[in-house]
Structure 1
Amino acid sequence: MSAVLRLPGAEPAELTVPGLLLRNAEDHGDLPALSWREREDGETRRSTLTWSQVRDRVARLAAGLTAHGVQRGDHVLMMMGNRPEHWLTDLALVHLGAVPVSVYGTAAPEYVAHVARNSRARLAVVEGAGQVALCAPLLERLVVVEAEAADGHVPYAELGRAYDREAFEETWRAVRATDPLTVVYTSGTTGDPKGVVISHRNVVLNCLAVEGVVDLPAHAEQICYLPFAHIAERMLGIYLPVFRASHVHLCADPAQVAEMARELHPAQFFGVPRVWEKLTAAVRATLTQLPDAQRQSVEKAAEVAREHVACRERGEQPSAELTAAYERAKRDVLGPILARAGFERLVWTASAAAPMPQEVVRFWAGFGIVIMDAWGLTETTGVATTNGPASFRLGSVGKPLAGVEVRTAGDGEIEVRGPTVFEGYLRHDGSVEPATDAEGWFATGDIGRIDEDGFLWLTDRKKEMIVTSTGRNFSPARVENALKAHPLIGQAFVHGDGKSYLVALLVLDGGTAPVWAAANGIEASLADLAAHPSVLAEADAAVAAANARLNRAEQVRRHHLLSDEWGPQSGELTPSLKMRRSVLREKYGTLIEELYAPGGRTSVT
């Protein structure tokens, strides 16, 4: 814990989020807490609230929500983007002992209806007309942020114009560490989403454990761009900033996260693998346009940086000579490139949610940046294991956090036990269904192994393992990451269940492909590039290179190249950018079968 921060007097296991917010208002009231951009008179400007102002806003919102019937224990749906109303309302509900339930902005009507029924919510706070149309048939009352869409509903601006400070202080002090802090619904890659009940205690102890691994500057800035319906952003964008009294910058459009990083030059950055892949493609595109001499200088500097990282990874102290060479390389060559991306001040970079392609990890190691891969689930309150600056293995997801126990079952399934494991799944009647065994172990559904040094290595999701007709088990993620090692390939989907060999659908990287094409004298749209003979030949080479790194039974026999990127809006990815394999199998079922037909499509031997 940073020396400038004190924990309130209670034991950590008894702390609550409202207690931490009070600490921030008392100890750091003048420091910035929340910033966002908004349009006014045709111009974009940044607005900021201090911690003292945040708590005042929260108190007023809590009074307004109470006036509209919200009581202790009520579940309230929230369907908004990353905007201040979402962040502040979340904390206001928590101070009432109510339970915020964020819903993905891209959620289908069936998903929203399921969450509304399962949570038994009667009120929702929504953004605009689209969310009103989805939620109005399902709930008794709506609070609507955009005034023009609030016709017949409660305008958000009316909340909390007056409040009773004494009543507010009395209400939040009734909140206990064992109370539900939120219910987070799983993204539903298979089956109906489940409501994961997470307590204040789960969150506070997770924050404390993470703080023991990461040594960040006091009041560090945090770019908040993932949906609040995702446990990662709940921890990184709400709970950890409250715990650390740090400064949250809301990024309403994830496509603008790179621009915001260039503006803020943050000390910490978290990205799911797809975000890191896009950043990698962007930097690579820049490097390809450098003069030959400068590009060679970057490559030499990158070799020094990787050697320095490798030394640290082995737990060794880099020699004085290597340290001096690395400092020169960083100052003269790598630093200016990182500065253009806003990454030159980074002391903590992390990823989670899916296996990180090792080509991406190696690329950033060439700039001296170690992406600290972590692992966890909604049910483990986010991070359960992580790499840290003092101890890491590239390719692993690190060691268990303090207080967390991890083991593997006979079939390799990872099991977790500890105080940050969730309370259970929300039943339709409002009760909570425990999900641990008699000894407190939670079966995660992920497959992995623990090495002799205690590092956890992921293999795949238990339910996503490919079983071929020969009875062999394969990790699709391992094969897909090998395919994506080539800069032309932005996304990959491997299929082989019940078949005698594996096939793959490949998607061109929208950032790198045009640059590669221009360098090779090809002028064509992205759609046309996917059918261009030279690009197809390069895709063949990418598959062949991947196959050379895979076991024979894992190798891809046939593939097809696509141009349209998969995303949450088109349904192939979840809002947290995980692949929906069932959707891809259904959408491309005919194409996949053609890959198995005699003489079908592209074949690589």
Structure 2
Amino acid sequence: MNSTVRSEVHEITENSVCGIFLNRVKANADEPCVAYRKEDTFHDVTWREMGDMVHSLGAWMIHEGVVRGDRIAIFSGTRYEWWITDLASLLTGAADVPIYATNTAHEAYYILSHSAACLCFTGDREQTDKVLAVRDSLPALRKIIVFDDILIDDPMVITFQKAIEEGRQRLDLLNPDSAQNAITPRDLATIIYTSGTTGDPKGVMLSHGNLIANVRQVHDHYRNKLTIKHDFLSFLPLSHALERMGGYYLAISTNTKVSFARDISTLLEDLKAVRPTSFVAVPRMFEKIYHAVQQRVRESRKLRRIIFSRAMNVARKNVEYLAHDRERKGIFALRYALAHRLVFSRIKNNLGMERIRFAVSGGNALSGEIARFFMGLDIRIIEGYGLTETSPVVSANRPDLIKPGAVGKIVQGTDVRISPDGEILIRGPQVMTGYYRDDAATAEAFTDDGFFKTGDLGFFDNDGYLRVSGRIKDIIITSGGKNISPMNIETNLMYSKYIEQAVVIGDGRNFLTALVVPDFENLEAWAVREGIAFGSRKELLLHEKVRSLFSDEIDHYQKDFSRVEQVKKYTLMDEPWSQEQGELTPSMKVKRRVINERYAEIIESMYNEKNPEV
């Protein structure tokens, strides 16, 4: 089926994200813009202070010889200095090049070399050392600027604070208003390197026009839902287009105060300290919270379990009210108020989520069961769809029109077409200008009539909501000729609190198998409760009760798939896959080719054993 859905875009008032920021600085001045945690306290930074630092750093960059068209790398975790560097770079006419904080020296080298970055901003000593280790092979790199105030005895390295101080002495080199007025929509703003699951990453070129168009599209999509002032907690990597748009550009456009979590490991602690009204997260976070609540209930007294069960019955009925922004009335309103007082408010207070108006889930599919759990608590979970190449937002549910399991309706001004092969094709003002220094890949990425080929499979349901069903390159074709999307099966398996990672295998085979990495934190806690003694993870995974547990979990989470789509055999892995070992991308996507090659013997052993009934 060949179908296209389109809507119109509203007028864009500012020509760049820089223009939005400068206007907000003038309007908000001494109000808090961001907050960072130092020791046990969050410290505010005002809009005026942010604006002054952007001006100073931009002036320093110009003094260091940065000119329009240069590339400036940011190799750091999520922090307010990232924002300042991004904005200063854009005002000078340079394009920034994000690098994930977890990237290896080799991965960072490829991006720095391919982009020919002249400056590299680093977060801490570890990232700085990685760049120093490869600097001799980077002739374009002139300076390394480290955010942390640490002493590194090297003439190539300067601290962020020192650069700011030097820039303050040269403010006449940059007039922010004139600089942002000189920006055109076609000017290159950023080069974001894709994860590279099948080869070297490609540099996605996004223009100022791409970014500002997507800001406007999301504003239009959410209408008056973004006019309420929010307190946002930022913790996903700003190197990822989702956090950059949702937790940064949209935040400044809506006058939202953003607090930066120290680290993903301190997220729950930071949630309780900030008590935000919104945040962006990946499905795994919601899954872990859900399983933690369920486990706590199972361990509670019988009376509490009964109260929780009855409250959940009320919660399930609340989903329809919340999904369509309907007011609760009559007897149900009273029942919900009681359930909220006895159960829901306590759960949310314990999580630091009692003020949440909505949370965005992206990067992968979220279980409908888990989405409905949070919505039952009056926490809207917004799922959407996009790619780095689309700035990134293509579609999203709205707070007043939520359909769990779907990724919403398309944003304004975007054409979305489903090809005869089921591929999602996109054309719109947010679509990239191309891949940096790769004309062949750019040409291959577009259809003859200008649609971007996403590589994703999807369809529109009867209500016009987009649904994504897998990746074309990941499709398994069994020996019987059946086409199977492993993503859907893997996603379902990982809904289990005992499964952290999974890869389904079966291309050219007559049945499916899987490599499964347990969630060892939950598994080991379960083993202790079951009285299972073990000296190592390998020993634990060989235990009969553990094998039985995983068989039951896999059977449960794949029960809704057809027989040919069900995993018949699996192997439990005793070590998680990691970016350091080359098995995951910086955005934590599995490199299937690496997994298949590295564990070929294990995979073959599952097929060499006596075959199950298929």
User: SS at 1:406's partner residue?
Assistant: strand
C-alpha displacement at 1:604, in angstroms? Answer: 9.2
Question: Following superposition of structure 1 onto structure 2, how do residues 56-95 of structure 1 map, counting pairs within 5 Å?
Answer: 56-95=52-91
How far apart, in 2, do the equivalents of 1:69 and 1:37 lie?
A: 33
Query: Structure 1, residues 259-318: CA drift from partner, whole Å, max 9, x if none?
Result: 211211111122112222233333333333222221221122122112220455578776
Question: Following superposition of structure 1 onto structure 2, how do residues 40-51 of structure 1 map, counting pairs within 5 Å?
Answer: 43-51=39-47
Do the aligned partners of residues 308 and 363 (structure 1) sit closer, same or farther apart at CA in structure 2, a change above 3 Å counting? closer
The letter of the residue matching 2:498 is L
User: SS at 2:212's partner residue?
Assistant: helix
| Aligned partners of 2:322 and 2:375 also within 8 Å | no
C-alpha displacement at 1:475, in angstroms? Answer: 1.2
C-alpha displacement at 1:512, in angstroms? Answer: 2.6
- Asked if 1:181 corresponds to 2:192, the answer is no
- Asked if 1:116 corresponds to 2:112, the answer is yes
Do the aligned partners of residues 333 and 166 (structure 1) sit closer, same or farther apart at CA in structure 2, a change above 3 Å counting? same
Among residues 158, 163, 167, which one is paired with 2:162 in the alignment? 158
Do the aligned partners of residues 286 and 173 (structure 1) sit closer, same or farther apart at CA in structure 2, a change above 3 Å counting? same
How far apart, in 2, do the equivalents of 1:226 and 1:232 lie?
A: 9
How far apart, in 1, do the equivalents of 2:105 and 2:228 lie?
A: 42
Which piece of structure 1 moves more, 290-299 or 496-505? 290-299
Query: Paired residue for 2:174?
Result: 167
How far apart, in 1, do the equivalents of 2:65 and 2:515 lie?
A: 51
Which piece of structure 1 moves more, 262-271 or 540-549? 540-549
TM-score normalised by the chain length of structure 1:
0.91
- Asked if 1:403 corresponds to 2:396, the answer is no
C-alpha displacement at 1:118, in angstroms? Answer: 2.8
User: SS at 2:195's partner residue?
Assistant: coil
The letter of the residue matching 1:155 is I
The letter of the residue matching 2:131 is V
How far apart, in 2, do the equivalents of 1:321 and 1:475 lie?
A: 45
TM-score normalised by the chain length of structure 2:
0.89
User: SS at 1:136's partner residue?
Assistant: helix
C-alpha displacement at 1:431, in angstroms? Answer: 13
Which piece of structure 1 moves more, 505-514 or 238-247? 505-514
C-alpha displacement at 1:433, in angstroms? Answer: 6.5
- Asked if 1:201 corresponds to 2:209, the answer is yes
Query: Paired residue for 2:569?
Result: 558
Question: Following superposition of structure 1 onto structure 2, how do residues 249-264 of structure 1 map, counting pairs within 5 Å?
Answer: 249-264=259-274
Query: Paired residue for 2:433?
Result: 423
How far apart, in 2, do the equivalents of 1:571 and 1:252 lie?
A: 26
The letter of the residue matching 2:382 is M
Which piece of structure 1 moves more, 360-369 or 43-52? 360-369
Question: Following superposition of structure 1 onto structure 2, how do residues 506-585 of structure 1 map, counting pairs within 5 Å?
Answer: 506-524=516-534, 527=537, 528-585=539-596
Query: Paired residue for 1:143?
Result: 144
C-alpha displacement at 1:134, in angstroms? Answer: 4.2
| Aligned partners of 2:76 and 2:101 also within 8 Å | yes
Q: Identity across aligned pairs (percent)?
A: 33
Do the aligned partners of residues 433 and 599 (structure 1) sit closer, same or farther apart at CA in structure 2, a change above 3 Å counting? closer
| Aligned partners of 2:315 and 2:373 also within 8 Å | no
Do the aligned partners of residues 417 and 408 (structure 1) sit closer, same or farther apart at CA in structure 2, a change above 3 Å counting? same
Query: Paired residue for 1:591?
Result: 602
Query: Paired residue for 2:341?
Result: 331
Do the aligned partners of residues 142 and 429 (structure 1) sit closer, same or farther apart at CA in structure 2, a change above 3 Å counting? farther
Do the aligned partners of residues 374 and 492 (structure 1) sit closer, same or farther apart at CA in structure 2, a change above 3 Å counting? same
Query: Structure 1, residues 73-101: CA drift from partner, whole Å, max 9, x if none?
Result: 11111212223332211111111111110
Do the aligned partners of residues 119 and 583 (structure 1) sit closer, same or farther apart at CA in structure 2, a change above 3 Å counting? same
C-alpha displacement at 1:393, in angstroms? Answer: 1.4
Query: Paired residue for 2:33?
Result: 33
User: SS at 1:255's partner residue?
Assistant: helix
- Asked if 1:55 corresponds to 2:51, the answer is yes
| Aligned partners of 2:234 and 2:280 also within 8 Å | no
Query: Structure 1, residues 122-161: CA drift from partner, whole Å, max 9, x if none?
Result: 2222233423324522143122315423512141333114
Query: Paired residue for 1:131?
Result: 130
Query: Paired residue for 1:3?
Result: none
How far apart, in 2, do the equivalents of 1:525 and 1:282 lie?
A: 25
Do the aligned partners of residues 315 and 216 (structure 1) sit closer, same or farther apart at CA in structure 2, a change above 3 Å counting? closer
User: SS at 2:449's partner residue?
Assistant: coil
The letter of the residue matching 2:94 is A
Which piece of structure 1 moves more, 374-383 or 217-226? 217-226
C-alpha displacement at 1:359, in angstroms? Answer: 3.9
> Looking at both structures, which has the greater relative contact order when contacts are Cα pairs under 8 Å and sequence separation is at least 6?
2
User: SS at 1:54's partner residue?
Assistant: helix
User: SS at 1:385's partner residue?
Assistant: strand
Query: Paired residue for 2:301?
Result: 291
How far apart, in 2, do the equivalents of 1:597 and 1:392 lie?
A: 46
Among residues 256, 261, 270, which one is paired with 2:280 in the alignment? 270
C-alpha displacement at 1:590, in angstroms? Answer: 1.6
C-alpha displacement at 1:452, in angstroms? Answer: 1.5
Which piece of structure 1 moves more, 170-179 or 395-404? 170-179
C-alpha displacement at 1:398, in angstroms? Answer: 0.9
The letter of the residue matching 2:310 is K
Which piece of structure 1 moves more, 441-450 or 120-129? 120-129
C-alpha displacement at 1:592, in angstroms? Answer: 1.3
How far apart, in 1, do the equivalents of 2:597 and 2:370 lie?
A: 29
- Asked if 1:191 corresponds to 2:199, the answer is yes
How far apart, in 2, do the equivalents of 1:313 and 1:499 lie?
A: 42
How far apart, in 2, do the equivalents of 1:485 and 1:80 lie?
A: 30
C-alpha displacement at 1:430, in angstroms? Answer: 14
Among residues 358, 361, 374, which one is paired with 1:351 in the alignment? 361
C-alpha displacement at 1:165, in angstroms? Answer: 4.6
The letter of the residue matching 2:461 is D
| Aligned partners of 1:79 and 1:131 also within 8 Å | no
| Aligned partners of 2:236 and 2:280 also within 8 Å | no
Name stretches of at least 5 consecutive residues in structure 2 with no aligned partner. 1-9
Among residues 378, 381, 385, which one is paired with 1:375 in the alignment? 385
User: SS at 2:579's partner residue?
Assistant: coil
- Asked if 1:454 corresponds to 2:453, the answer is no
| Aligned partners of 2:227 and 2:254 also within 8 Å | no
The letter of the residue matching 1:163 is R
- Asked if 1:244 corresponds to 2:254, the answer is yes
C-alpha displacement at 1:476, in angstroms? Answer: 0.9
How far apart, in 2, do the equivalents of 1:523 and 1:343 lie?
A: 37
Among residues 383, 391, 394, which one is paired with 2:401 in the alignment? 391
Q: CA RMSD in A?
A: 2.6
Which piece of structure 1 moves more, 527-536 or 294-303? 527-536
How far apart, in 2, do the equivalents of 1:83 and 1:397 lie?
A: 29
Do the aligned partners of residues 17 and 315 (structure 1) sit closer, same or farther apart at CA in structure 2, a change above 3 Å counting? closer
The letter of the residue matching 1:568 is Q
User: SS at 1:198's partner residue?
Assistant: strand
Query: Paired residue for 2:371?
Result: 361
| Aligned partners of 1:222 and 1:269 also within 8 Å | yes
Which piece of structure 1 moves more, 587-596 or 137-146? 137-146
User: SS at 1:222's partner residue?
Assistant: strand
